C-alpha cells in the first residue's frame, strides 16, 4: 500500500505512466523519421518492446545500428538527426489528438491539488516531447503546472540511474521521504528507489510483465490511486 497523503509532492514518469505514448506516438514517429532519412529500418512492436530496455531515443537508434552489424559511431550524426526528426513527428501525432492522458490521471492531479500536494515530472525523454504532451494532451484539461520538470537534457545518465530523481529533489528542496514516484517500468522503479523514494507502479502496454518487487504498490490503472481506489489522499 502507498498513502499519497504522507507526501508533499508526487513525481510522475511520462511515457507509459501519464499517457500511453510509446506505441501510439513514439513508435510511429520513429518509423516516419527513419523513412524520411532514407534508412531501410522499420520497427515492429516487438522490435520496439526490446529496444525500450534501453532508455533514450537516440540511444535506441545507436543500439539498433550496432545490433544490425553497423558502425554506430560512424552513424552518430545521421542518427542524431533522425532522433530530432522523430521528436518533430511525435509532436505532430500528439497535435492530432492521438494520445489522451491515461484514465484517472486528470482526476488524480485534481485530488492531489485539492489536498495541497504538488506534482512533478521526472522523465529522461526529451523536453520537446514533454512540451508536446503538455500542450496537446494535458493543458486542455486545465491542469496546474508541475512544481518541477526534469527531462533527458537535464541529466548525464538516464534511468535506471537515479540522477533525474536526485535533480528533482534538489530543485524541490525536499528530502526523498516527502516525495513519492509513480512509474511504469523497472528502469524507472530502480531509479526512484535508488534516490530513496517510495514507488507506485502503474502497468503499461510495454512493461506490464516486468518485475516490480521493490515497489510499494502495483496497480493496473491510475484510477486505483484515486481516493475511491487503493490509496487515500485525505490530508
The catalytic residues are 13, 15
Strand order, beta sheet including 198-202: 149-150, 118-122, 9-12, 179-183, 198-202, 217-219
3-state secondary structure of 205: coil
Contact 203, 218 (CB under 8 A): yes
Under DSSP, the state recorded for 148 is -
Contact 99, 20 (CB under 8 A): yes
H/E stretch holding 189: helix 186-194
Q: What does the alpha-carbon distance between residue 204 and residue 16 come to, in Å, rounded to a whole number? A: 5
CA angle 117, 11, 98 (to 5 degrees): 110
**1: buried, middle or exposed (CB in 10 Å: 19+, 13-18, 0-12)?**
exposed
- The number of helices, as runs of H, and strands, as runs of E, in the chain is 9, 6
Amino acid at each position: 500500500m502507498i498513502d499519497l497523503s504522507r507526501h508533499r509532492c508526487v513525481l510522475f514518469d511520462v511515457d507509459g505512466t501519464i499517457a500511453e505514448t510509446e506505441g501510439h506516438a513514439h513508435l510511429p514517429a520513429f518509423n516516419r523519421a527513419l523513412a524520411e532519412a532514407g534508412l531501410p529500418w522499420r520497427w515492429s512492436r516487438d522490435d520496439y518492446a526490446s529496444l525500450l530496455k534501453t532508455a533514450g531515443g537516440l540511444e535506441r537508434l545507436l543500439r539498433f545500428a550496432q545490433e544490425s552489424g553497423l558502425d554506430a559511431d560512424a552513424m552518430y550524426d545521421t542518427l542524431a538527426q533522425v532522433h530530432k526528426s522523430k521528436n518533430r513527428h511525435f509532436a505532430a501525432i500528439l497535435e492530432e489528438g492521438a494520445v489522451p492522458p491515461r484514465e484517472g490521471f486528470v482526476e488524480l492531479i485534481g485530488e492531489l491539488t485539492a489536498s495541497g500536494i504538488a506534482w512533478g515530472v521526472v522523465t529522461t525523454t526529451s523536453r520537446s516531447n514533454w512540451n508536446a504532451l503538455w500542450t496537446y494532451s494535458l493543458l486542455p484539461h486545465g491542469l496546474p503546472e508541475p512544481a518541477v520538470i526534469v527531462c533527458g537534457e537535464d541529466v548525464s545518465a538516464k534511468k535506471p540511474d537515479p540522477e533525474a530523481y536526485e535533480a528533482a529533489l534538489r530543485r524541490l528542496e525536499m528530502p526523498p521521504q516527502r516525495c513519492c514516484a509513480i512509474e511504469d517500468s523497472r528502469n524507472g522503479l530502480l531509479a526512484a528507489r535508488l534516490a530513496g523514494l517510495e514507488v507506485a507502479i502503474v502497468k503499461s502496454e510495454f512493461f506490464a510483465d516486468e518485475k516490480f518487487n521493490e515497489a510499494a504498490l502495483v496497480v493496473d490503472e491510475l484510477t486505483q490511486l484515486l481516493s475511491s481506489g487503493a490509496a487515500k489522499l485525505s490530508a
